[in-house]
Structure 1
Amino acid sequence: MNKEIVINAAPTGVEIALLEDKKLVELHSEKSDARFAVGDLYLGKVKRLMPGLNAAFVDVGFEKDAFLHYTDLSPYARSLLKFTQMAMNATNENPLDFSKFEVEPEIVKTGKISEVLGGKPNILVQILKEPIAAKGPRLSCELSIPGRFVVITPFNNIVAVSKKIHSSEERKRLQKIIEAVKPKNFGVIVRTAAEGKNTAELYEDLEHLVNIWNTVQQNLRGATAPTKIYSEQNKTHSILRDLLSADYNRIVTNDKNIYAETRNYIQRIAPEKVEIVNQAHGNVFDSMGITKQVKGSFGKTVTLNSGAYLIIEHTEALHVIDVNSGYKNVSNNQEQNALETNLEAAAEIARQLRLRDIGGIIVVDFIDMKLPENKKKLYERMEEVMKADRAKHSVLPISKFGLMQITRQRMRPEVTINTQEVCPSCNGSGKISSTLVLEDEIERNLQYLITHKHKNLKLVVHPIMHAYLTKGLWWNTKIAKWNRKFGQKTRLEKDSSYHLTEYHFFNEMDEEIKL
């Protein structure tokens, strides 16, 4: 499979596209003024304890307080509180030596938030989820600093190796290396990318992360909450760190600084792949056809190559995807048609989940199939195409109602690109008042205004409504009938900037009358 990373820099920020065989599968963006990104460390101030939720709201400088649940406190929360206070009070004469730090006893899993954060202290926290809609950031006290091959977790001494490394001998080798070189008071998680790496490479990565932790300590010295203590590398570097593997054979960017940084980064972690970095000019998304793919991939309806299509709907509780066969017809066998369409749809659904970063509960209504073996084939196909998804997910077999349920983790706001506009007449409802109903509404409001002593009224409507109210002989028009009925002349004017059902009344001073 041909895999590419395309980085398009603009004054407003950076856009990153991941392509597989020239097809867009992931889209990331980083605004130039981005704040509160996942992985950032903040010195926060506990503002409110919510015993009913067993959670706390913490001020990290966002317009809304961030949310910290007890389950995200980390077993070493007391150690973190102690460390935060000591690091803030440290001086050049009395520095904090983390290797000599005495770890506090772990908190219990079933404890209360008030038992740990009583007194509303300052605490070092990590952004777990970016602000989404009206919600502030989601926080965690289980701090972790990721590198290329390992992740360090302060306050514990556990060494864990990725389960994706299947060789038991390799897992034991990596564990022995890390146990021999890791500093005290640090836990280490060995990532999948560490497979086959030697001691020097692992130690260099570990030392780099320990230096970052030392920087965190320095930044805490004398700090006042709320403030950012450490920011994760920019998204370009974090994506390269997490994704770059032997599978990728091209990286394209239109920014010379990103080009130089990317080459230097790859030179450090994979010198043999440095030539895959290419510099382009202009809007690289346009020149490589990515913009066109973006516009065609984010609508409510997604059409497949065969003519089948998906309908993707979003609600507060879940996401619903409906599979329709369109005009696809591979045989005269209805069951076979359904299976082929569903298998094709499964691959596109997996792509759409990654592309839009849809999280939570997803319910898929595939085309009905009767044979159990075909349902099993579809389930296995969905699991297979979801393997490329880095987000934690779970796929359930098709239920007796013919529905498949998927859960997927979301770490950032869902990517939504509007390909439609809300109709100004119906506000997206798809319906407007009928002419007769609108006519009655205008008449009622006109009667109300005249009853309340308004004189010399002017009524302004859309040109089509104006034509309706003035059709026929002048003495038999609707506006003439109203004038006779209410004993007062009302001037009628038209305005083409109004939408079809919009109308306004104005007084003799030409001021709009609010109803």
Structure 2
Amino acid sequence: MEKEIYIHVTKEETKAVVLENGKLMEIYLDRSFQKRLAGNIYKGKVANVLPGMQAAFVSIGLERNAFLYVEDVRSNNHEKTLPIQNLVREGEELLVQVVKEPFGTKGARVTTHLTFPGRYVVFMPDLNTVGVSRRIKSERERERLKKIAEEVRIPGRGLIVRTVAEGVSAEELERDVRELHNLWVLVKEKAARKSAPSLIHQELELVSWVVRDLFGEDVDRLLTNDQETYEKIIELVQTFEPSLCSRICLTSSEFAEQFDLEQEMTKALRPKVWLKSGGYLVIDEAEALTVIDVNTGKYTGTKNFAETVFRTNMEAMQEIVRQIRLRNLGGIIIIDFIDMELPEHRSEVIKQLEEELKKDKTRTCVLGLTQLGLLELTRKKVRPSLSSLLERSCPYCEGTGRVLSEETVSMNACRAIRSIADQEDSLGILVEVHPTVAAFLIGGGGSHLRELEEEIGKKIIIKGSDASHLEDVQVRSLYSKEEIIALSAPVRQGEILDVEVEDAHATNDNDGIARIHGYIIDIENGRDYVGQRVLVKVDKVHRTYAKARILER
């Protein structure tokens, strides 16, 4: 498998992408106005303690207070976790580290168990244990690394040996440990001088983080479009693995265009993902969990239905893992595969899913199938998902993804018309709505408008406005005949108009339809001009529509 990392730098944004066999797999963003917080260490002050939630809120100088759960509080009593009220008190100053970015209305999640990740080890000053990454499979290598870690660690301090340390020498591990210990000493000294709330230590910016955590022997090339970034990467890599410098390349911005990265990012925001076979996925990110639904779509497969389902699920499984990494989905993830009758098919899909997930550096746990046949898995949520970085909730639908239908809005307008007719003694009523809602209010041939006027005993003027949101309804009273006449029709007989023929007429086969503020212009012989702009002359003006003909060009 060919693996590449591309870092695209502009004035406003740094973007790092991971490509596997030319396919976009992961995206990391760092924007000048949207800094990453995970890994930062703050001196915070406990704002309030909540015994009922066994948590506390800590002020760390951000817009929202950080959330500190009882299990994330360091205790001198290692036998049993004490209640939160016995561990912290309001007004107390704590040294905390961000483990989860703020998201939506939630503040950052913090811990008092500080960790300092290096190239080869993670230094844990509050623990007294040594561990080795589970991704290192060789037992002999695991034992070697654990022995070295025991020898080079600071007495009383903990270490976790990272996957990239496989095969490195004791000297390299020891250098990494010493650098991280020195950093810890500096953090303690700075914390002693600063008052809460304040930032004590900032995690590496994106480029340095990518070099430390993503760039290794498994990466064939690391490319960037920026000369300054290229020089910085070379300098960083020379300090720990000079042999990797030959894999670092300076390229042009055309590299991003070659793989159509912007288009791929846009696709990663869509709920529907098509598979090559014709099947598709529907990905729904909710507050509590993410649901992924698998569908056969256009794929009819072979004569064997069970085999068709199995093949679709196998193809979907690979794309699901890619989408999880690409969109950086975290927390609880539920996958609704197409029902498989054969147990061996279910086992194979789960087995291959677990195998594909091993390529993901973020910790994921496959929990298995529920009684309803849904596959449950969890993925550590550290950074915001791609959608939360690039999108915001719709201000109109407030994140539901749905708006009221035209029929519903027209019913709301009818209620508003009746209400104002009962309350005010006016000659008429003006209603301004979206053009599609106006069509419902007027009805076929103006039938519904006539019925409504007869019911309330007043003239009703319906005006469609493209500037109106679909759900907006503006209703006001009209008190003069002159105003009613002026508003009754937006066109006059004999007037020449430049209009776009929007659609064919529903009943007159040869005619076309144009609209001006929702008012219909019936264009004689306009069917062949749908989608084009034409000059028309108004021959006759009616209450709810006008007749017009196309002028010779």
What's the counterpart of residue 80 of structure 2? 109
CA distance in 2, matches of 1:487, 1:430: 32
CA distance in 2, matches of 1:404, 1:56: 34
Kindly report which structure 2 residues correspond to 1:62-461, keeping only aligned pairs within 5 A, or say none: 62-75=62-75, 105-118=76-89, 120-282=91-253, 284-416=255-387, 428-429=401-402, 432-434=405-407, 441-453=412-424, 455=426, 457-461=429-433
SS at match of 2:45: strand
| Alignment check: 8 A CA contact 2:434 2:467 kept | yes
SS at match of 2:334: strand
Check if 1:16 corresponds to 2:2.
Answer: no
User: 1:477 and 1:137, CA in 2 relative to 1: closer, same or farther beyond 3 A?
Assistant: same
Shift of 1:169: 3.9
Higher strand share: 2
- Comparing 350-359 with 495-504, greater Cα deviation is found at 495-504
User: 1:157 and 1:350, CA in 2 relative to 1: closer, same or farther beyond 3 A?
Assistant: same
What's the counterpart of residue 474 of structure 2? 504
| Alignment check: 8 A CA contact 1:161 1:191 kept | yes
Shift of 1:348: 0.9
CA distance in 1, matches of 2:26, 2:136: 25
Query: Cα deviation per residue 1:404-426 (whole Å; 9 max; x = unaligned)?
Result: 22222211112217799979799
CA distance in 1, matches of 2:409, 2:467: 18
TM-score normalised to structure 2 length: 0.78
Shift of 1:164: 3.3
Task: Provide the aligned C-alpha RMSD in A.
Answer: 3.1
CA distance in 2, matches of 1:472, 1:371: 55
SS at match of 2:8: strand
What's the counterpart of residue 52 of structure 2? 52
SS at match of 1:240: helix
Structure of greater relative contact order (alpha carbons < 8 Å, 6+ residues apart): 1
CA distance in 1, matches of 2:80, 2:111: 15
What's the counterpart of residue 28 of structure 2? 28
CA distance in 2, matches of 1:130, 1:500: 35
| Alignment check: 8 A CA contact 2:291 2:335 kept | yes
Shift of 1:304: 1.3
Gaps of 5+ in 1: 76-104, 511-515
CA distance in 2, matches of 1:207, 1:188: 12
One-letter amino acid matched to 1:286: E
What's the counterpart of residue 465 of structure 2? 495
| Alignment check: 8 A CA contact 2:403 2:471 kept | no
SS at match of 2:220: strand
User: 1:385 and 1:180, CA in 2 relative to 1: closer, same or farther beyond 3 A?
Assistant: closer
SS at match of 2:387: coil
CA distance in 1, matches of 2:411, 2:334: 44
- Comparing 389-398 with 10-19, greater Cα deviation is found at 389-398
Percent identity reads 32
| Alignment check: 8 A CA contact 1:14 1:29 kept | yes
One-letter amino acid matched to 1:51: P
| Alignment check: 8 A CA contact 1:5 1:16 kept | yes
| Alignment check: 8 A CA contact 1:425 1:432 kept | no
CA distance in 2, matches of 1:372, 1:463: 55
| Alignment check: 8 A CA contact 1:36 1:131 kept | no
TM-score normalised to structure 1 length: 0.83
Query: Cα deviation per residue 1:377-419 (whole Å; 9 max; x = unaligned)?
Result: 1121111111112222222444553322222221111221779
CA distance in 2, matches of 1:49, 1:424: 36
Gaps of 5+ in 2: 484-553
| Alignment check: 8 A CA contact 2:96 2:110 kept | yes
- The alignment covers a number of residue pairs equal to 477
SS at match of 1:416: helix
Shift of 1:225: 0.8
One-letter amino acid matched to 2:182: N
Shift of 1:430: 6.5
The structure with the largest alpha-carbon Rg is: 2
- Comparing 46-55 with 308-317, greater Cα deviation is found at 308-317
